[in-house]
Amino acid sequence: MSGERIIESRGPVVSEKQYTLPRGLKDIEPDEMARRIWLSDKIREVLWSYGFQMLEPSPIENLETLEAKSGPGVREEIYWFKDKANRDLGLRFDLTVGMTRMVANRFDLPEPIKIASIGGVWRYDEPQFARYRYHTQWDAEIYGVAEPTADAEIIALASDILDKVGLKQHEVRVSNRKLAEGFLQSIDIRTSEELERILRIIDSIAKKGREKVEGELTRTGLSKAKVERVLGFADISGKPDDVLSELEKKLPKNELISKGQQELRGTIDNIDSLGKMSKVQIDLGIVRGISYYDGTVFEAYDQAGEDVGAVFGGGRFDKLCRIYGKRDMPATGVAGGFERLMLSLERKGLFPDTDQNLQVLVVMTGEEVRKETIEVLGKLREAGLRTDRDLKERPLKKQMEYASSIKARLVVIVGPREIKEGKFRLRDMKTGQEIDIERSRIVAEATKILS
């Protein structure tokens, strides 16, 4: 057995080898899992209230599906492999591609199509603060609506999700990819490869800082004057009313920029009509680095914790459906990572008590009362109380020690004397008080104490 040595003993065989996780991955332990379940429930409540249907796309796609929009270079950023039949497959890197593939050929679905998902995604990038190679996302998409009403609806939904979980001090920064692409074309950056490269660099300003981005732009071959113009474009930000009135003066004129301004103004007007303007800023430095975005784009930040990064982001991707099927539909959507959002919530103490300790432990004083013990155990569980018994069926003293070690709140003691008298003994482990309760009232009394 290469790499390990077996220790011989009278007990179980034990290996000296320590098995660890691959880099960039982590286990989710019970306390964190309880918080994740709470977070998922809150997100689903908002999605439900907005009329979205929940689904989940396949976690494994044909590699050509993942490459269809992102190109062969995506192989460097994802997990991909050959299966036993020598087919090229890959693990999903987001939920949008799979959801779009699902609806692209569904002519039976009435528009608009509003679907959402919560699931895990894999990305083979460098592990960093609040980001792992496997992480959980929530995602909502609207298909079939070209009007800015859909962009505003998505932004309102996402902002309401942050409000729902308690992260009310957030800011949604909105822009439009057409403005960025039109501006870059005006300074003679025209090929799709050049545009995508510069847009990715602009997208990294918040993460890398202005100085590093300036160096990266210079290394693309841009002159110093053009680098300054690009950075000046990305610096345009502020309250929507102020920025929108100044864009025509600050930006060059071409068809793409005019279209971007029209779409951005339409989105802002519709956000205003939904009563969500208080959280919104315009920021032309928001371009979204994923290449399938082609219109309105946005990101949200916790105002008290920008080092966490964007807690959600999204935008319009009108051309993606035609790549995956015959149904050519405009689309817009949003996605957010659990890990970053949870970090912001933890810092502010916004998670509720997600205690998973046992509420009731039913103990028995001998085998002759096993039937009654299991009977009351079932009734307590049917009432929705978190209840268990000692499966090792140890002596009473050991069972009480076990109850204390797992921090059970109540203990129901079942013994021959109690059975004869038609009662159970109930011990409150918090106060130490013990009382005898009629068998018919044990569920009601336990529920009362725990409520």
Asked whether the predicted pLDDT for residue 4 surpasses 60, the reply is no
Q: Over the stretch 34-82, which tens digit does the pLDDT of each residue have? A: 999 999 999 999 999 999 999 999 999 999 999 987 778 889 999 999 9
Q: Give the confidence band of 131 by pLDDT, cuts at 50, 70, 90.
A: confident
pLDDT on residue 13: 67
Q: Over the stretch 210-243, which tens digit does the pLDDT of each residue have? A: 888 889 899 988 899 998 998 999 899 999 999 9
| Among the listed residues 235, 212, 206, the one whose alpha carbon sits nearest the alpha carbon of residue 307 | 206
pLDDT on residue 450: 92
Q: Over the stretch 370-380, which tens digit does the pLDDT of each residue have? A: 999 999 999 99
What CATH number matches the domain at 30-57+92-347, 3.40.190.10, 3.30.420.480, 3.30.470.20, 3.30.930.10? 3.30.930.10
Per domain, the residue ranges of the chain are 30-57+92-347, 360-450
Assess contact for 335 and 96: CB atoms under 8 A: yes
What CATH number matches the domain at 360-450, 3.90.79.10, 3.40.50.20, 3.40.50.800, 3.40.50.2020? 3.40.50.800
CA atoms of 356 and 347, how far apart (whole Å): 21
pLDDT on residue 157: 98
Cβ atoms within 10 Å of 330's Cβ, excluding its own: 21
Q: What letter represents residue 227's amino acid? A: V
CA atoms of 318 and 145, how far apart (whole Å): 9
Q: Over the stretch 300-332, which tens digit does the pLDDT of each residue have? A: 999 866 677 889 999 999 989 999 988 889 999
Give the position of tokens 């009731």.
360
Looking at per-residue pLDDT, the higher value among 248 and 99 belongs to 99
- Region of poorest pLDDT, from 48-57, 113-122, 344-353, 437-446: 344-353
pLDDT on residue 1: 46
| Among the listed residues 408, 409, 400, the one whose alpha carbon sits nearest the alpha carbon of residue 365 | 400
| Among the listed residues 440, 444, 414, the one whose alpha carbon sits nearest the alpha carbon of residue 427 | 414
Assess contact for 106 and 296: CB atoms under 8 A: no
Asked whether the predicted pLDDT for residue 165 surpasses 90, the reply is yes
CA atoms of 250 and 413, how far apart (whole Å): 78
CA atoms of 13 and 276, how far apart (whole Å): 62
CA atoms of 134 and 410, how far apart (whole Å): 39
CA atoms of 46 and 157, how far apart (whole Å): 7
